[in-house]
Structure 1
Amino acid sequence: MRTQQLLYAAAGVVVFVILLLIGWGLTHKPEGGTVRGATNFVSAVDRAQAATVMVTVSGSGDQETMQMGSGFVVSPDGLVVTAAHVTGRLPVVNMVFADGSVARAELAASDDASDVAVFRVTPGKPLIALSFADSNQVKAGQPVLLMGAPYGLVGTATSGIVSAVNRQIGAAPIDEDDPFAQGSLSGPVKSYIQTDAALTAGGSGGPLLNAAGQVIGMASARESRGEPGAGLAFAIPSNVVKDAVERVKNAPQQAPPPPMPQPNKR
């Protein structure tokens, strides 16, 4: 009988210790800040999905393929930005929104030096637009969200951290199909925000967001070494994108052409 009582007592002590350990684990966070994956992006994704578009560029000549990229709304009245290399200075493209609606977009400005193109759509109602954060305040290690339309899937979200800031580029590579051929990224922007958030085909031009859902960059290039969805992504800093948008907003609107003179009626 005494042996049985001792066994019950020992079992009770073990259960008590286990409960203490569980309670300690629930009330103590690991040192070093928030653990990876703990950031809640639900509200940021909800708004960003409505503001993210798929950009479609039809092939020309013998090309029957349709090039796709991503973009995002930056003003309720219809300004949308994307990476300039996606559209190649075409004056008109189509943009597909997350709700399935399609809008004809006309080029307002394109700058190959910054790889930013600004388009204008004429919405039937005010659009949900994303706001810019100061990319000079971006720090390596902060959690980020990358939105886009990879493979034509509008409103796709991937997450990660900022891997590095002010990532410099080198001279133009000999092999234009491999911007990393010389060991460093080559392109039109002088420095990038580097992230490990997945960037796949069709995602260029999508917004890179902070935890508050503000734009800190625009996806422009990736290096995966042949591993789709893996590797590193590079984003144009939001201050560069914002400057291009502000130039369009501040540009004087062109007056409509005067009406053609009417012939005198006899």
Structure 2
Amino acid sequence: MRTQQILVAVAGAVGLMILILLIVAFSRGDGDGAPRARAMEGFVSAVDKAQAATVMLSVSGGGEPMPMGSGFVVTTDGLIVTAAHVTGGLSVVNAVFVDGSVARAELVGVDQTVDVAVFRTTPGKPTQALSFADSNQVRAGQPVVLMGAPFGLTGTATSGIVSAVNRQIGRQAPDSSGGDRFAGGALRGPVVAYIQTDAALTAGGSGGPLLNSAGEVIGVASSRESRGDPGAGLSFAIPSNVVKAVVERFKAAPAPAT
């Protein structure tokens, strides 16, 4: 009888230990999942905010808008940033918002040496604006979202990671022929150090903001290297610290009369 009682007690103790282990395992699983859930929620919020602040830049042609590229609002009174090559030196373009509204945007200033242009528009109402993050804090491996209007589809988001920082032009490893791999390719240009990402950059997406998980701008989409496969390959963004310096120079300047 006593032996039976001992066996029952041992079985109960073992069962209790198993229950405790299961509870610990499940609690650890929840702990691992919670940060992922919070990160996902953060990106959803970032994209939602960025959609309202991202525009398609276009010109009128035969009654139909001709998409040129993307840009984004950086002040609530309508200051817009894009890559300078997107608008090709034009002083007036149209800014098409995700809700379909269109506003005239006039060139405030351009810095061709870093491929950044600043426009001012008066949309008739306060606009959602994006803020800049410190691009010196960007690290390879961090998740990012690239916003833009590829193929004229405003408010489009693509995701990826930062695959490299401080990517230097003209300092890439040579290819098998002994030449620069990017000679004659997308990396020709004035910016000497890019943020490299695998987030897809397709036609019309240049000039859009590259965002961190907090929805802050860490770069401006400028070019891609796809080896002839549109939408694939690597994208390169002008670091936000470079862009912000240009914006600060032109922020107080009124739009020129036309």
**Counterpart AA for 1:249:** K
**Counterpart AA for 2:224:** R
Q: Tell me the distance in 2 between the aligned counterparts of 1:100 and 1:234.
A: 28
Q: Tell me the distance in 1 between the aligned counterparts of 2:206 and 2:185.
A: 21
Contact 2:161-2:197 within 8 A present in 1 as well? yes
What CA deviation, in whole Å up to 9, does each residue of 1:105-149 have, x standing for no partner? 110001111100100101211111000011111111111110000
Say which of 214, 217, 221 aligns to 1:215.
217
**Counterpart AA for 1:152:** G
Aligned-pair CA distance for 1:181: 3.6
Contact 1:39-1:143 within 8 A present in 2 as well? no
Scaled by the length of structure 1, the TM-score of the pair is 0.76
SS at match of 2:251: helix
Q: Tell me the distance in 1 between the aligned counterparts of 2:256 and 2:102.
A: 27
Gaps of 5+ in 2: 1-17, 172-180
SS at match of 2:136: helix
Aligned-pair CA distance for 1:255: 10
Find the counterpart in structure 1 of residue 135 from structure 2: 135
Find the counterpart in structure 2 of residue 197 from structure 1: 199
Aligned-pair CA distance for 1:39: 3.8
Find the counterpart in structure 2 of residue 126 from structure 1: 126
Aligned-pair CA distance for 1:230: 1.4
Change (3 A) 1:96 1:67: closer
Change (3 A) 1:225 1:98: same
SS at match of 2:145: strand
Change (3 A) 1:222 1:59: farther
Say which of 230, 239, 242 aligns to 2:241.
239
Q: Tell me the distance in 2 between the aligned counterparts of 1:114 and 1:166.
A: 14
Change (3 A) 1:110 1:254: closer
Gaps of 5+ in 1: 1-15, 172-178, 257-266
Q: Does 1:186 align with 2:223?
A: no
What CA deviation, in whole Å up to 9, does each residue of 1:136-181 have, x standing for no partner? 111111111100000111000111111000000029xxxxxxx924
Contact 2:186-2:225 within 8 A present in 1 as well? no
Contact 1:168-1:185 within 8 A present in 2 as well? no
Aligned-pair CA distance for 1:200: 0.6
**Counterpart AA for 1:162:** V
Q: Tell me the distance in 2 between the aligned counterparts of 1:57 and 1:218.
A: 21
Find the counterpart in structure 2 of residue 261 from structure 1: none
Q: Tell me the distance in 2 between the aligned counterparts of 1:84 and 1:183.
A: 18
**Counterpart AA for 1:204:** S
Q: Tell me the distance in 2 between the aligned counterparts of 1:68 and 1:197.
A: 20
Q: Tell me the distance in 2 between the aligned counterparts of 1:205 and 1:255.
A: 22
Q: Tell me the distance in 2 between the aligned counterparts of 1:142 and 1:79.
A: 28
Q: Tell me the distance in 2 between the aligned counterparts of 1:79 and 1:183.
A: 31
Contact 1:215-1:238 within 8 A present in 2 as well? yes
Find the counterpart in structure 1 of residue 29 from structure 2: 26
Q: Which has the higher helix share?
A: 2
Q: Tell me the distance in 1 between the aligned counterparts of 2:131 and 2:65.
A: 33
Find the counterpart in structure 2 of residue 49 from structure 1: 51
**Number of aligned residues:** 227
Aligned alpha-carbon RMSD (Å): 3.1
Report 1:130-169 matches (<5 A).
Answer: 130-169=130-169
Aligned-pair CA distance for 1:68: 1.9
**Counterpart AA for 2:169:** I
Change (3 A) 1:218 1:27: same
Aligned-pair CA distance for 1:182: 5.6
Change (3 A) 1:52 1:184: closer
Report 1:103-118 matches (<5 A).
Answer: 103-118=103-118
Q: Tell me the distance in 2 between the aligned counterparts of 1:79 and 1:184.
A: 27
Contact 1:95-1:104 within 8 A present in 2 as well? yes
Report 1:1-12 matches (<5 A).
Answer: none
SS at match of 1:187: coil
Contact 1:94-1:102 within 8 A present in 2 as well? yes
SS at match of 2:194: strand
SS at match of 2:107: strand
Scaled by the length of structure 2, the TM-score of the pair is 0.78
Q: Tell me the distance in 1 between the aligned counterparts of 2:183 and 2:162.
A: 23
